[in-house]
Amino acid sequence: MTLLTQEALVELLVPIVGADKVRIDADSLETFGKDWTKIYPPKPSAIVFPKNTQQVADIVKLANERHIALVPSGGRTGLSAGAVAANGEVVVAFDYMNQITEFNAIDRSVKCGAGVITEQLQTFADDKGLFYPVDFASAGSSQIGGNISTNAGGIKVIRWGMTRDWVAGLTVVTGKGDILELNKDLVKNNTGYDMRQLFIGGEGTLGFVTEATMRLTRPPKNLTVLVLGIPELDHVMKVLTQFQNSMDLTAFEFFSDKAMSKVLARGDVPAPFETSTDFYALIEFEAINEADMNLAMEIFEQCLENEWVVDGVISQSETQAANLWRLREDISETIAEWTPYKNDISVVVSKVPPFLRDIDDIVAREYPDFEIIWFGHIGDGNLHLNILKPEGLEKSVFFERCAKVSTWVFEVVEKYRGSVSAEHGVGMTKKPYLEYTRSTAEIEYMRAMKRVFDPLNIMNPGKLIDL
């Protein structure tokens, strides 16, 4: 790639976006050159802030002419180093493309710039009496363009699906600098390949999402939360089946006693009940009327009778529901001080118990000094494995030892025909392990698509796949 100096880059970029939208100061390079991962230090050459799709296209065309590598930057909340500029790339940050436009009440859709914050869209939908259901802990800072590029999931997938289920149309700039409008917001459009789906989850390797038309839905009514103490892992799945057979759930989350103990130790959230168990399930559902609440309590009592559950609590107010959610949602922030090594993995729901046990056995056998924290969206088969760094162990040594763990974990993933990345993307951290989920033929077809859309390999190079 290019060996242009920072000054030369600024001279080339300023005519496209203006002098105030190009930065090379140390703070900006550090801030915009990374995501939430801590493995690869950021080393971008410059940060550029386009204000519209045409400016993005002009930047990409310039990058083609001068062989400049580009890295997209959204809310920088990724956990796979997909937005890290570690090799002198120019970062294209979408923070100024944050307008919400063209709301359509009949179609229940809204057009968003790539830089629109997830929570911004959720609030907009709420103001219109509607609901944007894709939700996760980073909703206050993640951006729609990044969500689309990683096909973000979160806590409501069991009811409302992933980001791709809500994308009606996309405007993208390909690696050649072409502007494509994909699907034209249609519900039915059987006119060949749906290229929209290539860019959803493509991590910016084929091109950059600049605008998206997002679908909205009706808001849920009286969301109610039930937290259950469950003594055995197999019982978690029995509880899930019992509830799903009788009612529509909006969430079914899982966390271990070790995970909850970390949250409770902070003193911000009370324990849900006095009984301590190895596992907990958080169930959310709409209690539209008294019959819904009665049905939930009836199923809970059946679970108690079958000894699948030993204790439980149900929310009686929005405040109590929010506090119960914190038992699950505060886990990531709470364990951050232990520099956790994270794995975001998935299998089909029915295989979760043996899958989790196999991984637990491996880590306990090989690294008995490592503390393991489990939590995740167990209702859709997505588990978050967090290995906490022991006090006194150097971070570099810890990550090196965890890399060996990853290989063993992904061998188990392959055994159960699962995915090495359920919702966080591949980026750089999962790229060496892609073959555990994708076949050799699949990866070669992915490379072929990359060559078509980005022949010079300037769009987020080194992420997802190598050419």
Integer Cα distance of 19 and 466 in angstroms: 34
| 3-class SS letters over 291-357 | HHHHHHHHHHHHHHHCCCCCEEEECCCHHHHHHHHHHHHCHHHHHHHHCCEEEEEECCHHHHHHHHH
Fold classification of 339-440 is Alpha-Beta Plaits (3.30.70)
Q: Which of 466, 342, 373 is nearest to 79 (CA)?
A: 342
* pLDDT at position 93 over 80: yes
Integer Cα distance of 435 and 59 in angstroms: 33
User: What does the pLDDT look like over 363-409, one tens digit per residue?
Assistant: 888 888 899 999 999 999 999 999 999 999 998 899 889 888 889 99
* pLDDT at position 2 over 80: no
Fold classification of 6-96 is 3.30.43
* pLDDT at position 1 over 70: no
List the domain boundaries for the chain: 6-96, 100-215, 223-332, 339-440
Integer Cα distance of 86 and 88 in angstroms: 6
Q: If pLDDT is split at 50, 70 and 90, which confidence band does 37 have?
A: confident
User: What does the pLDDT look like over 205-231, one tens digit per residue?
Assistant: 999 999 999 999 999 999 999 999 999
* Residue 197: how many other CB atoms lie within 10 Å: 15
Q: At what angle do helices 318-329 and 257-265 cross, to 10 degrees?
A: 110
First and final C-alpha spacing in the chain? 14
What rounded mean pLDDT belongs to the chain? 95
233 contacts 357 by C-beta, under 8 angstroms: yes
User: What does the pLDDT look like over 168-194, one tens digit per residue?
Assistant: 999 999 999 999 999 999 999 999 999
* Residue 24: how many other CB atoms lie within 10 Å: 16
Paired with 249 in beta bridges are: 285
- Please tell me what DSSP assigns to residue 421: -
Model pLDDT, residue 39: 81
Integer Cα distance of 11 and 371 in angstroms: 51
Q: At what angle do helices 6-17 and 53-66 cross, to 10 degrees?
A: 150
* pLDDT at position 343 over 90: no
Integer Cα distance of 234 and 35 in angstroms: 36
Mean pLDDT within 248-272: 95
Fold classification of 100-215 is 3.30.465
Q: Which residues contact 175 (CB under 8 A, 6 or more apart)?
A: 60, 64, 206, 207, 453, 454, 455, 456, 457, 458, 459
Model pLDDT, residue 367: 84
For domain 223-332, the question of CATH label 3.30.70.580 is answered with: no
Model pLDDT, residue 38: 76
* pLDDT at position 49 over 70: yes
User: What does the pLDDT look like over 282-337, one tens digit per residue?
Assistant: 999 999 999 999 999 999 999 999 999 999 999 999 999 999 999 999 998 899 89
Domains 100-215 and 223-332 share a fold: no
Where does residue 369 fall: left (phi above 0), alpha (psi -120 to 50 degrees), or beta otherwise? alpha
Lowest-confidence pick of 34-38, 61-65, 322-326: 34-38
| Global pTM value | 0.94
User: What does the pLDDT look like over 123-144, one tens digit per residue?
Assistant: 999 999 999 999 988 899 999 9
Report CA 174 to chain centroid distance, whole Å: 23
User: What does the pLDDT look like over 399-437, one tens digit per residue?
Assistant: 889 888 889 999 999 999 999 999 889 999 999 999 999
445 contacts 434 by C-beta, under 8 angstroms: no
Integer Cα distance of 7 and 12 in angstroms: 9
